[in-house]
Copies of this chain bind each other. A is one copy, B any other.
Amino acid sequence: MLPEAIRWNGNSIEILDQRKLPDVVEYINCTNVELLANAIETLAVRGAPAIGIAAAWGVVLAFKQGESVKLSIERLRVTRPTAVNLFWALDRMASASDYEQEARRIQSEDVENNRKIGAYGEKYLPKESVVITHCNAGALATGGWGTALGIVRSAREAGKNVKIFACETRPLFQGARLTAWELEQDGFDVTLICDNMAAYLMSKRKIDAVIVGADRIAANGDTANKIGTYSLAVNANAHGIPFIVAAPRSTFDLSIPNGSAIPIEERSESEIRRLPGGQTVPIRIKAWNPAFDVTPFELISAIITEDGEYEPK
């Protein structure tokens, strides 16, 4: 069963409150643009494509209520700085003649695009595959189907057997709370790991691909995505594992030559200092919990003991 992140009910926008998942499946009813902007800012809805779709419906809502479309677009533009799909969707809405039709198109095209991404991407996966993913680039982050998780779904449709390791994604646990839950609901074999375990996992068993989504892609291909993606990419490359980014073309920002110009949102320190407590995933979801890992000597500059320095290399 695929969760629906955003629903337009004719009068207001229903947003699946992703802050409460997986414990509670509850929709917030956004009856005005400020409530929607708030839902985006506080991550009730998140994921680059989903943010764009939600913002598009926000413009419809403003128009229906006789509010200024221009001011609504301005308000929605300042909700999150990094994902470029937000600005792309708002730009489309700004030049649309029929707002409702345009929002509906943005949403349905996103699902179609996810399906195409899935069809292209699943070719990277062998019949029996093991994939590592980070954060949530699934149905919850899109109009449905998903980008990174769309590839996994399309591979299953093509008759392949895909096992997924979901990195929990500190500090907000989107990998645990959203991806592990979304995949488990959809009948996949998913195992939760802490972010710092992915490299050790790559060294211990065959991983066919690391697949992630994207929040903004510069003209040269440099890709901004959830914190921790870069570490996975370095590690995937060190282990000779394909590192695959799955994203609609609306994620590209050709005005930016490379990644150094992508604005990176810095969030509150309290997200790291304070833990929400309780279950991040239901106890029926598998987890892998090695307490230690092994670092090969080639990677160690010096081992310093009371007798002096050894240089294993």
Contacts and interface: CB of A to CB of B under 8 A. Distances in A.
Interface of A: 82, 112-114, 116-117, 120-121, 124, 151, 167-171, 176, 192-200, 203, 209, 214-215, 217, 220-231, 233-238, 242-249, 251-252, 259-260, 262, 264-283, 285-297, 299-310, 312
Nearest to A43: B291
Q: Which among A197, A203, A209 has the greatest number of chain B C-beta atoms within 10 A? A: A197
Nearest to A192: B272
Given A82-B292, A275-B276, A301-B243, A307 B249 contact: yes
A114 B279 CA distance: 39
A308 B264 contact: no
Q: Which among A124, A193, A198, A221 has the greatest number of chain B C-beta atoms within 10 A? A: A221
B245 A303 contact: yes
A271 B203 CA distance: 22
Contacts of A245: 295, 300, 302-304
Contacts of A271: 289
B170 A196 contact: yes
A289 to B, nearest CB: 5
14 contacts: A116-B306, A120-B308, A176-B272, A197-B228, A198-B231, A199-B234, A220-B297, A221-B297, A225-B292, A249-B307, A260-B294, A265-B291, A267-B291, A273-B285
Contact of A223 (B224, B227, B300): B300
Contacts of A264: 290-294
